[in-house]
Amino acid sequence: MVSASAPTDATPPGDLAARTLPLTRMEGPAWRVYPGAYEAEHFNKQDGRFNDPEQQYGVLNASGSDVGAFAERLLLAPGVLGGGGRAAGPSVPISATALQTFSLAEITFGQSITCVDLRTPDGLARIGAGPWLLTAPHAVSKQWSRPIFLHPSAPDGIVWNSRAGNGVVSMGLHERAKPKIATVGRGPLVGHRRLLADAIRLFHVAIVPA
Amino acid sequence: MSRRKAISNRTRVRERAAQAALPVLATSDPLYTSVATLVEQSKEPLRRAILARFLRAAGTAVGRATPATLTQAASADSDVSAVLTTLEALMPEEGKASDDDVITQAQLRGLEARQRMLDAEGGTLSVEQMARRLHLTRQAVDLRRRNRRLIGLPVGRHGYRYPAWQLGPTGIWSWVPAVVEALSPHDPWQQVFFLLSPHPDLGGETPLNALRSGRTEQTLGLARTYARYGLG
């Protein structure tokens, strides 16, 4: 996990509504990992980096890749298992049960959606932020959700580089994007061998049996 | 037949079998007892079949392992850990491994990780030990686990192990049921991984330490966020 310190005043600038947002068009698909007992499509009103602190609109949190969705939803920071003397570095544990109870969902876009692109320093600077916004505690980053959501350009969501690292791209789709997307459950993670192998290679995962 | 006599008879049978199978081994050789046990076990067809595969894999792994891996395996705390460390040598090099190989490697690492988790922060207790510490019956401890008031880690046919760090000076820490609830829908193992892993929003400290130091509300908030969203 990457980290950067937030400035003393980490609130959005007062003139954000008048600024031109760094918009990009996304074609999809996006991916989501979710508890299999629940709906594949869920606009969460509570938790997420750019969710509304007032919980008035929901955000569907997803990733640009299936491996990214896995890392964002389940992986923890390395360190609990130490280095273990392995050349590949410390492992990140995941329970074998989680691979059965959590499922993968594919989100396709019927038409391209418009997102605020915070994947570059330039994009972050244009809204008056810096890389710290993507690693700060959620209490800090959530303050930016509402001004972006209420911007006159009415973006469908926000896209940014996850603090999980390894090129993982995160997306928070606002509820207004709902008519443009279709979400299909693809079954428990344990059945997605390629996804699991790629995640293991990238994050040095250890699968812990019950 | 007395128990001592039976044991003595079994030992003699094992010794004769081992001597017949591998007469080159001296009885003082550390391999001698292991081989004797193997020979005895191999009388049953199913065990014999598994042992044959097991030994073939072990032989190949020991042959392929680098001196560094062997040194690490030899200094492992337990036989199981030594075996797991050595077996990694059977896996193809990174870049040449298939998806299935990579997953198998992750499962091997997971077996070792599981033991580390069981040993962490004061280790774990059996249901009987936990019942004694709490002045409860086994059934009452089991009920608390099922009602999510206590974390019990499933360990296959051995039932459950209860992390000792759930116990404070006067019983179960008051934050335990709340954190278990907050971490729903994760299973007990994943809940423990969360509690023992450094958290970026705690400056790299673990949620368990934050809870112990009284930062209950902040930590419960992080637990809920992890459960419903993740760490990103």
Q: Supply A161's token pair.
A: 């580089």
Cβ within 8 Å, pair B225-A47: yes
User: For residue B81, what pLDDT is reported?
Assistant: 73
Q: Give the pair of three-digit tokens for residue B56.
A: 């073939």
d(CA B205, CA B135): 32
- What confidence category does residue B34 fall into, taking pLDDT thresholds of 50, 70 and 90? confident
Please state the ipTM of this predicted complex. 0.91
Domain ranges, ordered by start, for chain A: 26-208
Which of chain B's residues have a Cβ under 8 Å away from the Cβ of A70?
A: none
Write out pLDDT tens, residues A104-120: 999 999 999 999 999 99
Distance from CA of A65 to the nearest CA of B (A): 14
Residue A89: predicted pLDDT = 58
Classify strands A157-161 and A23-26 as parallel, antiparallel or unpaired. unpaired
Q: Which of B155, B189, B191, B224 to mutate to test the interface with A (most CBs of A within 10 A)?
A: B189
Nearest to A151 by CA among A188, A116, A195: A116
Q: Which residues contact B225 (CB under 8 A, 6 or more apart)?
A: A47, A138
Which of A80, A135, A194 is best to mutate for the B interface (most B CBs within 10 A)?
A: A80
Q: Give the span between the Cα atoms of B182 and A95, in whole angstroms.
A: 18
> What pTM, to 2 d.p., does this model score?
0.83
Q: How far apart are CA B51 and CA B38, in angstroms?
A: 8
**Number of CB pairs < 8 Å for A and B?**
140
Q: What is the pLDDT of residues B57-95, one digit of tens each?
A: 888 888 888 888 888 888 777 777 788 778 877 777 767
Query: Which site among B80, B109, B225 would you substitute to test the A interface, given the most A Cβ atoms closer than 10 Å to its Cβ?
Result: B109
Instruction: Give the number of other CB atoms < 10 A from CB of residue B218.
Output: 16
According to the model, what pLDDT value does residue B19 have?
64
Q: Where are the domains of chain B?
A: 128-228
How high is the pLDDT of residue B112? 86
- Residues A207 and B103: beta-carbon distance below 8 Å: yes
Q: Name the E strands within chain A.
A: 23-26, 30-35, 59-63, 92-95, 102-109, 113-118, 157-161, 169-174, 181-188, 205-208
Flag residues of chain A having pLDDT under 70: 1-4, 82-89
Q: Is A89 within 8 Å of A81 (Cβ atoms)?
A: no
Distance of CA A90 to the CA centre of its chain: 23
Which class does domain A26-208 fall in?
alpha beta
| Yes or no, beta carbons of B231 and A72 under 8 Å apart | yes
Query: How do strand A30-35 and strand A23-26 relate by DSSP bridges?
Result: unpaired
Q: What residues contact A12, with CB distance under 8 A and at least 6 apart?
A: A127, A128, A129, A143, A144, A147, A148
Q: Least CB-CB distance to A101: which of B103, B187, B224?
A: B187
pLDDT at A78: 85
Contacts with A49 (C-beta within 8 Å, 6 or more apart), sequence order: A61, A134, A138, A141, A142, A160, A170, A172, B232
The one-letter amino acid code at A208 reads V
Residue of B nearest to A160 (CA): B232
Question: What DSSP letter does each residue of A17-61 carry, written as one string?
Answer: GGSPP-EEEE---EEEEEETTS-S---BSS-STT--TT--S-EEE
pLDDT tens, position by position, B157-176 = 879 999 999 999 999 999 99
